[in-house]
């Protein structure tokens, strides 16, 4: 995930999430438009305004949502507004605000909804933090409503405290399906590279724009972020700008809720943190599963989040981390690196077989030669876009390994060893580097790490061809993942 990808979508995100513009026309209330009498403004946002209104034909109080007048609203906004109405109208659940009617009033698209007498979670938290069990109960109901929505093929994609209304009986109602997406087809409203949602409550894959795979786990992340806010008074990530918040979502781990509010039960803390896992496959597999775990917490039963089953542990160790997407930037470079490394190893072994004992040649090959390639590698990587912090971490581990290998030759001399007698250590150093990569990027690299550790043993057993053996194995270790991640990038 490149900073450039986020920046490319920044205007789009800011445009959707910005407060309502001051020039947005207002009505002198009360006023009658069409068959509705608009009585009171309930709220407004970047796409429109919501009024409390009376549907005169039925003498029914409704919430009427209107988009900006036609000359000011883009076609995309009008399409998205229509999409929101259609998505909500398909859903019939007590936890989802129902849509009654869709139409236009004086060239302003609108739809009417059930009027919920209550406040948003945001408003309530600003007054006072929710009691822990009350917050868990509310999110349980929201999760079951979202599970119903998912079963109907609708992803919400913008779950946040301001989109949940709590009625006078304390029950939640989900509103604002403006970013909803049918889970079985790609919407034309979701453009490649677009970042849609509210940064503090969006999942990492959603914040990653076109690189992410937004699905059911994305809504589960948002549910966890919302529960986090209800019991701590702040979202998991919040910065001075939307861009900075997105980078926090992508790069940082949230502070545990119990650290902020000691009243949060340990089990609820684990449930929230499970929702907020950056790899989507480590979250709950469905909103119903989350709701069931919250029910277990409320009834003092064992929760799934603390089960620690062996299969889950193995999956976590072997799965990709949220940093793995950077490997798509390295695909071609790793393939080239495998060839350069193989060439260096073959030439080194040829010099050894030719009885060249001057260690300066070997040291020059592995310091000046590979050092020059490292500089070229890094220059090529920088041309692909801004370098992330995690890439600098990996680069430091790689640089440390090159320094260690370069020092092997003078150390051999100082210890009175023959040329390349310490060569098996190169396999150990390389195995350690891949072990670091496995922990930071993907557990798949454990196989490369163990292969290189085993190679060091073989190198000790067959010293005559040790560098050729190492060159072949290490080249495969770089070429295979490089090719696979390059294929992923070209398939996007």
| Catalytic residue IDs | 158
Q: Quick one: the chain helix, strand, coil %, rounded to 5?
A: 55, 10, 30
Distance between CA 490 and CA 492 in Å, rounded? 6
Task: Classify strands 164-167 and 118-120 as parallel, antiparallel or unpaired.
Answer: antiparallel
For the beta carbon of residue 427, count every other beta carbon within 10 angstroms.
24
Distance between CA 360 and CA 439 in Å, rounded? 35
Angle at 136 between CA 306 and CA 322, to 5 degrees: 55
Distance between CA 200 and CA 446 in Å, rounded? 33
What secondary structure letter does DSSP report for 43? E
Distance between CA 287 and CA 320 in Å, rounded? 22
Q: What are the φ and ψ backbone dihedral angles of 129, each rounded to 5 degrees? A: -60, 145
Length of the chain: 492
Q: What are the φ and ψ backbone dihedral angles of 176, each rounded to 5 degrees? A: 60, 80
Distance between CA 71 and CA 49 in Å, rounded? 16
């Amino acid at each position: 995930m490149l900073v450039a990808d986020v920046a490319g979508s920044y205007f789009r995100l800011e445009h959707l999430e910005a407060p309502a513009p001051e020039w947005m026309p207002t009505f002198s209330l009360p006023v009658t438009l069409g068959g509705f009498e608009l009585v009171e403004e309930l709220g407004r946002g970047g796409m429109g305004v919501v009024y409390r209104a009376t549907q005169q034909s039925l003498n029914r109080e409704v919430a009427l949502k209107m988009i900006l007048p036609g000359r000011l609203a883009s076609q995309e906004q009008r399409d998205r507004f229509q999409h929101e109405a259609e998505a909500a109208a398909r859903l019939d659940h007590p936890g989802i605000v129902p849509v009654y009617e869709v139409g236009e009033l004086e060239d302003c698209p609108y739809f009417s909804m059930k009027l919920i007498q209550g406040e948003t979670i945001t408003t309530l938290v600003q007054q006072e933090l929710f009691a822990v069990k009350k917050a868990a109960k509310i999110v349980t109901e929201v999760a079951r409503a979202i599970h119903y929505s998912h079963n109907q093929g609708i992803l919400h994609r913008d779950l946040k405290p301001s989109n949940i209304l709590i009625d006078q009986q304390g029950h939640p109602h989900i509103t604002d399906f403006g970013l909803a997406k049918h889970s079985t087809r790609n919407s034309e409203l979701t453009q490649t590279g677009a970042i849609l949602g509210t940064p503090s409550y969006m999942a990492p894959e959603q914040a990653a724009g076109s690189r992410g795979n937004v699905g059911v786990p994305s809504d589960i992340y948002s549910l966890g972020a919302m529960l986090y806010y209800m019991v701590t008074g702040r979202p998991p990530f919040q910065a001075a700008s939307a861009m900075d918040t997105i980078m926090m979502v992508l790069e940082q781990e949230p502070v545990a809720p119990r650290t902020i509010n000691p009243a949060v039960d340990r089990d609820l803390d684990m449930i929230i943190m499970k929702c907020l896992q950056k790899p989507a496959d480590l979250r709950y597999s469905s909103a119903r599963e989350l709701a069931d775990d919250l029910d277990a917490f409320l009834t003092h039963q064992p929760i799934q989040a603390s089960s620690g089953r062996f299969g889950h542990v193995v999956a976590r160790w072997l799965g990709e981390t949220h940093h793995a997407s950077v490997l798509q930037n390295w695909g071609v470079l790793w393939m080239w690196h495998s060839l350069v490394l193989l060439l260096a190893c073959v030439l080194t072994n040829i010099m050894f077989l030719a009885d060249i004992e001057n260690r300066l040649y070997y040291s020059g090959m592995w310091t000046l030669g590979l050092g020059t390639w490292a500089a070229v590698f890094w220059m090529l990587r920088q041309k692909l876009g801004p370098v992330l912090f995690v890439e600098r971490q990996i680069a430091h581990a790689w640089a440390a390994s090159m320094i260690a290998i370069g020092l092997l030759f003078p150390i051999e001399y100082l210890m009175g060893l023959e040329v390349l007698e310490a060569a098996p250590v190169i396999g150990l150093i390389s195995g350690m580097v891949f072990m670091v990569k496995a922990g930071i990027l993907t557990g798949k690299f454990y196989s490369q790490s163990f292969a290189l550790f085993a190679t060091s043993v073989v190198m000790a057993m067959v010293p005559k061809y040790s560098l050729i053996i190492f060159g072949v194995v290490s080249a495969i270790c770089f070429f295979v993942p490089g090719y696979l991640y390059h294929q992923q990038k070209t398939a996007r």
